Structure 1
Amino acid sequence: MRKNVLLLETITDEALAVLREHVNVFTGYNDTDLKETLDKEDIHAIITRGKGQINKPLMDACPHLEVAARCGVGLDNVDVAEASARKIMVINAPGSNAATIAEHTLALMLMLIRNMYGSVAQVKQDNWGWRNQYAGDELNGKTLGILGMGNIGKRVARLGEAFGMEVCYWSKSASDLPYQFLSMEAVLQTSDVVSLHLPFNNETNGIIGAAQLGQMKAGALLVNTARGALVDHAALLTALKEKRIAGYAADVLPDEPPVQSLELVHHPKVIVTPHSGSLTATTYKHICMVTINNVVAALTGKGPDPKSIYNRHAIQ
């Protein structure tokens, strides 16, 4: 019997074709669409990307749910604890976005430290004379402090090193790496650029607040391509206004699209991209294909890659 799969968001055409080859595919891209599907179909797997929520009410509506999957790495929009309690397999694509997020992180660092956004904007306004008042610096010779040394943090460290930066880091535990492991306070105090690569959970929510921002160098830059809620944005805005740090660049916000964060977004020392770090053609296709292949394997009895099962220990 072919299993039924619910898509909460679009995926690549190639991944959709693979999915349709093996299972019945239904969509729930909006509330009306979702209700109509749930009223008519018995769902065995749900697939989301970054916005669609796989929560307790949705699981309640799918009593035969076997798989909850996200085409991506972070699982903020999947209730993993609830899924684990129900023995529902949670599938994601660990490590699949490390290269592209690391590239995006370095791009933000360069844009911020070299004031590239301002320079490009001025030239587009026919102000070539901007070069006479240009103020910027370079990454070479600076200290890069990384908070969170997972797959992405390691890649950022290597790229920073290639740019001539001295790398130090703090993580939950030290790793066998050629970089200095320091306390978080020491990383903040010594780094010219601090880059966040921590997962979002109860422990890391608001981990960069007024106290932590106060420990940073006056001319330091903060870069966040992890999760917006890692940073207390009210404290960040105050630190920027008081020039206690020199700039902030991010691909993530606690509210997307920004509403409460609008003042921060429009600050002249802030650069924000629209959570697009993983949306390159190469990575988007790869993330979707990896996830869909593992979902199909789970539903057809072939067994997905064990590394893709986020809660494999909880459901055994």
Structure 2
Amino acid sequence: MRKNVLLLETIADEALAVLREHVNVFTGYNEADLKGVLDREDIHAIITRGKGLINEPLMAACPQLQVAARCGVGLDNVDVAAATARKVMVINAPGSNAATIAEHTLALMLMLMRNMYESVAQVKQDNWAWRNQYAGDELNGKTLGILGMGNIGKRVARLGEAFGMEVLYWSKSAGDVPYPFASMEEVLQRSDVVSLHLPFNKETDRLLGAAQLAVLKPGALLINTARGALVDHAALLQALNEKRIGGYAADVLPDEPPVQSRNLVHHPRVMVTPHSGSLTAATYRQICLLTVNNVVAALTGNNPDPNSIFNRHALL
């Protein structure tokens, strides 16, 4: 008997084709469609990307649910605790976005350090004379401080090193990496550029507040391609207005699209991209295929990659 899979968001065409080859696929992209599917079908797996919520009420409406999956790494939109309590396997795609997020991080770093965004905008306005007042610097010779030395942090460190930067880091624990481990305070004090690569949880919620931002080297740049809520935005805006830090570049916000964050987004020394770091063609395809193949394996009696099962130890 073919199992039923519910998609809360679109996925890559190739991944959708794999799903349809092995299971029945239903879509619930809006509330009306979702209710219609749940009223008619028994759902065995739910797949989302970054916005569709796999929460307790949805799982309760699917008594035969076996798998809750996200085409991505972070699981902010999946209630892992509720899934585990129901013995539902939680599948994600760990490490799949490391290369592309690291590239995006360096792109933001370069643009902010060299003031590229404003330079391009001025030339598009036919203001070639902007070069006479241009102010920017280079990464070579600067100190890069990384908070969180996971898969992405390691790649950013290697890229920074290739640009001639001195790298140091703080993480929950010291790792087997060729860079000096330091306290978070020391990383903030010494770094010309600080890049965030931490998960969001109770411990990291607004990890960088007024006290931490005050420790930053004057004129330092802050880069965030992890989670918007790692930074206290009110404290950040104040630090920017007081010119205590040089600038902020991010691919993430605590509110997406920005409402409360609009003042920050429009600040002249802030650059924000629309959470697009993982949306390159290659990575989008890879993340979707990896997730779908593991979901199909779980539903058809085969073995998913154990590293893709986020709550595997809790289900033993």
TM-score bracket, shorter-length normalisation: over 0.9
CA distance in 2, matches of 1:217, 1:30: 47
CA distance in 2, matches of 1:33, 1:116: 44
Alignment of 1:18-167 (within 5 A): 18-167=18-167
1:121-169 per-residue CA deviation (whole Å, 9 max, x = no partner) reads: 0000000000000000000000000000000000000000000000000
1:44-102 per-residue CA deviation (whole Å, 9 max, x = no partner) reads: 00000000000001011111100000000000000001111111000000000000000
Deviation at 1:301, TM superposition (A): 0.4
Deviation at 1:176, TM superposition (A): 1.5
Find the counterpart in structure 2 of residue 266 from structure 1: 266
CA distance in 2, matches of 1:239, 1:108: 19
Deviation at 1:15, TM superposition (A): 0.3
TM-score, reference length from structure 1: 1.00
The one-letter amino acid of 2:218's match is A
Find the counterpart in structure 1 of residue 178 from structure 2: 178
CA distance in 2, matches of 1:10, 1:199: 25
Deviation at 1:4, TM superposition (A): 0.3
Find the counterpart in structure 2 of residue 213 from structure 1: 213
CA distance in 1, matches of 2:231, 2:37: 38
Secondary structure of the 1:201 match is: coil
Secondary structure of the 2:153 match is: helix
Deviation at 1:179, TM superposition (A): 0.5
The 4+ residue runs of structure 1 with deviation greater than 3 A are none
Task: Tell me whether 1:282 sits opposite 2:282 in the alignment.
Answer: yes
Deviation at 1:177, TM superposition (A): 1.1
Deviation at 1:303, TM superposition (A): 1.3
CA distance in 2, matches of 1:43, 1:231: 38
The one-letter amino acid of 1:212's match is Q
Deviation at 1:10, TM superposition (A): 0.1
1:201-240 per-residue CA deviation (whole Å, 9 max, x = no partner) reads: 0110100100010000111000000000000000000000
Find the counterpart in structure 1 of residue 233 from structure 2: 233
The one-letter amino acid of 1:291's match is T
Q: Percent identity?
A: 83
RMSD: 0.4
Deviation at 1:281, TM superposition (A): 0.2
CA distance in 1, matches of 2:125, 2:34: 46
CA distance in 2, matches of 1:256, 1:245: 24
CA distance in 2, matches of 1:70, 1:126: 45
TM-score, reference length from structure 2: 1.00
Q: Give unmatched runs, 5+ long, in structure 2.
A: none
CA distance in 1, matches of 2:232, 2:32: 35
CA distance in 2, matches of 1:22, 1:211: 53
